[in-house]
Amino acid sequence: MAAPISPLYEKIPQKNTLHRALEFTIFFLLLSLLAYRLLSLKNNGFAWLIAFLCESWFTFLWVLNLSSKWNPVSYITYPERLLQCYQVDELPPVDMFVTTTDPMLEPPIITVNTVLSLLALDYPANKLSCYVSDDGASRLTFYSLLEASKFAKLWVPFCKKYGIQTRAPFRYFSTELVSSNDNSMEFLQEYRKIKERYEELGQKIEGATLKSMPYELSSAEFVAFSNVERENHPTIIKTRVSGVMTNAPFMRNVDCDMYANNPQIFHHAMCLLLGSKNEQDCSSKWNPVSYKTYPERLLQCYRVDELPPVDMFVTAADPMLEPPIITVNTVLSLLAVDYPANKLSCYVSDDGASPLTFFALLEASKFAKLWVPFCKKYCIQPRAPFRYFSRELLPSHGNSMEFLQEYRKIKEEYEELRRRIEDETLKSISNELSTAEFVAFSNIKRGSHPTIIKVILENKESRSDGLPHLVYVSREKHPKHPHHYKAGAMNVLVRKPLELV
């Protein structure tokens, strides 16, 4: 990051002498009213007391509201200075969320214009991610976004090439041409082409809306929408460019009927967010802080045996709503972290006391004896197996026969683990669940059962290169003891881990 040349924004206090005088007058009148009520309280009975309390509460709220308006300020941002202070790759990512719910009340063409205006912002494209949250699970909305994604490949470059200010197509094409571009034949040709494409996009969406079900909706893209109900459907995630979900430090949420009317809106925002030195510099107290860590220096400052122990808690409730294979992947990713195994303990708190969840963890503990060493030997980065095996092999391992053999073996073992868990889920209860390991789960009810604690993995030799402790816990529940529903697993973990950690 380059040294700041000039401030990214200026904060200018606004003069409000008349407004303050008026507020002081109102405050004096309120205090006078309260003093009058208080002094006359003995002579006017209970009704007077109620009035005094209500007016006191009103005065308190009025003062709180006034405090937020007492020192109004305005900000002047300088987006042209942003790249003088930060390189392009140093700018923070931004996630943009567009919310919509009903294509009949909120026409898809409006949502499309909102999305297109956001996609065309003057901000590095690799730093932006746009998510459309459709509460109605409407295939019509998805169809509109599919068509809009094709139009965006023309619209976004056009906007950036000619510096278009209004980047919502419906708004831009409803105004006259900018005079500075009138004499450019190249611009006029592209303008007409883009306008024709936008009109075609509008006609497609309108046609799909009238037919309620366009022919394209029978293709593979829409399989996830088949037989779904508006208020009863699974999660649907569709990515058009990348399957990676971002986790940007900044988020912008807009409704589907809004659009960005300033293509440099994020540059202005970053001037405030990155240019403030402390929370008081920004009236809304936005003060993002990023930390750069140096884990490679940790063992230069501390010996391995001096590192503090860490307890990891994984919570689960219902194996029907939270499939055990998801819990298993969470646990396996934690067991495989690059931290001394004798300093780690993983506790799975199962609120449903499900033998199915316990069975899945037992099977996962066997797989962990292969997965954890494999991850650490080859420095695997995504350590949740389902995520790792859904990706292509890293190029650095492509020429290693040893790696490829181990990779295939581990993948086969994971597929076998997944099949066993899925089979048990379908059968609900298997022969294995009648063994000694599952005696504690016999004849228990979901809302009434004793505490169950099962040590699945135990690092008895306290080896830093072994496997962490893995403990299954289900808290006691009884209809006559409501406190058990609030205490969680912690009321049993304060005793048992003393023997392990």
Q: Which two tokens stand for residue 308?
A: 């503090």
pTM for the full predicted model: 0.49
Give buried/exposed letters for 232-253 (b at 16+ CB in 10 A, else e): eeeeeeeeeeeeeeeeeebebe
**272 touches 282 (CB < 8 A):** yes
In whole angstroms, give the CA distance from residue 453 to residue 248.
38
User: Residue 353 has what pLDDT?
Assistant: 84
User: Residue 483 has what pLDDT?
Assistant: 43
With bands split at pLDDT 50, 70 and 90, how would you rate the model's confidence at 323? confident
User: Residue 362 has what pLDDT?
Assistant: 92
User: Residue 244 has what pLDDT?
Assistant: 46
Q: Look at residue 120 and tell me whether its pLDDT is greater than 50.
A: yes
- Over residues 87-113, mean pLDDT: 86
**357 touches 324 (CB < 8 A):** yes
- Over residues 287-295, mean pLDDT: 59
C-beta atoms surrounding 146 within 10 Å: 17
**Antiparallel, parallel or unpaired: β 452-457 and 310-316:** unpaired
Nearest-Å Rg of the Cα atoms of the chain is: 31
User: Residue 261 has what pLDDT?
Assistant: 62
pLDDT, tens digit, 9 for 90 and up, residues 444-496: 776 777 778 888 888 777 776 788 989 998 877 766 654 444 334 333 333 33
- Over residues 202-209, mean pLDDT: 88
User: Residue 268 has what pLDDT?
Assistant: 73
Q: Which two tokens stand for residue 405?
A: 């053999």
User: Residue 242 has what pLDDT?
Assistant: 36
**490 touches 465 (CB < 8 A):** no
101 to 116, 139, 206, 208, 255: CA distances (angstroms): 18, 12, 18, 17, 10
Q: Own/partner pairs for 418-423, CB < 8 Å, 24+ apart?
A: 418/325, 420/363, 421/324, 421/325, 421/328, 421/359, 421/360, 421/363, 422/325
Q: Look at residue 241 and tell me whether its pLDDT is greater than 60.
A: no
CA-nearest of 402, 420, 478, 484 to 445 is 478
User: Residue 2 has what pLDDT?
Assistant: 46
**36 touches 29 (CB < 8 A):** no
User: Residue 180 has what pLDDT?
Assistant: 59
Looking at the DSSP bridge assignments, the partners of residue 315 are: 349
For residues 382 and 281, the model is more confident at: 382
User: Residue 368 has what pLDDT?
Assistant: 94
Q: Look at residue 190 and tell me whether its pLDDT is greater than 70.
A: yes
Looking at the DSSP bridge assignments, the partners of residue 368 are: none
With bands split at pLDDT 50, 70 and 90, how would you rate the model's confidence at 359? very high
**263 touches 121 (CB < 8 A):** yes
Question: How do the domains of the chain map onto residue ranges?
Answer: 17-71, 91-261, 309-499
Q: Which two tokens stand for residue 123?
A: 């901000």
Q: Which two tokens stand for residue 442?
A: 């016999």
Most confident among 2-11, 96-105, 291-300 (mean pLDDT):
96-105
Q: Look at residue 252 and tell me whether its pLDDT is greater than 50.
A: yes
- Over residues 337-361, mean pLDDT: 87
With bands split at pLDDT 50, 70 and 90, how would you rate the model's confidence at 317? confident
What letter represents residue 283's amino acid?
A: S
User: Residue 365 has what pLDDT?
Assistant: 93
357 to 197, 247, 314, 337: CA distances (angstroms): 53, 29, 12, 22
C-beta atoms surrounding 354 within 10 Å: 22
User: Residue 487 has what pLDDT?
Assistant: 38
User: Residue 96 has what pLDDT?
Assistant: 86
In whole angstroms, give the CA distance from residue 349 to residue 346.
10
Main-chain phi, psi angles of 158, to 5 degrees? -60, -45
What DSSP string describes 340-358? -GGGEEEEEEETT--HHHH
User: Residue 41 has what pLDDT?
Assistant: 81
Q: Is the dihedral of CA 38, 43, 45, 51 positive or negative?
A: negative
Q: The tokens 């949740």 sit on which residue?
A: 384
pLDDT, tens digit, 9 for 90 and up, residues 122-168: 888 888 888 888 887 788 888 899 999 999 999 999 999 988 888 89
With bands split at pLDDT 50, 70 and 90, how would you rate the model's confidence at 243? very low
CA-nearest of 285, 302, 428 to 355 is 428
User: Residue 240 has what pLDDT?
Assistant: 42
For residues 7 and 233, the model is more confident at: 7
In whole angstroms, give the CA distance from residue 481 to residue 477.
7
In whole angstroms, give the CA distance from residue 31 to residue 34.
5
Most confident among 214-223, 265-274, 342-351, 360-369 (mean pLDDT):
360-369
For residues 274 and 17, the model is more confident at: 17
Residues 380, 383, 386, 387, Cα dihedral to 10°? -70
- Over residues 391-414, mean pLDDT: 79
For residues 395 and 162, the model is more confident at: 162
SS3 489: coil
Q: Which two tokens stand for residue 462?
A: 């306290």
In whole angstroms, give the CA distance from residue 310 to residue 340.
10
Residues 279, 283, 286, 291, Cα dihedral to 10°? -20
User: Residue 91 has what pLDDT?
Assistant: 86
**9 touches 78 (CB < 8 A):** yes
In whole angstroms, give the CA distance from residue 263 to residue 163.
9
- % of the chain surpassing 70 pLDDT: 74
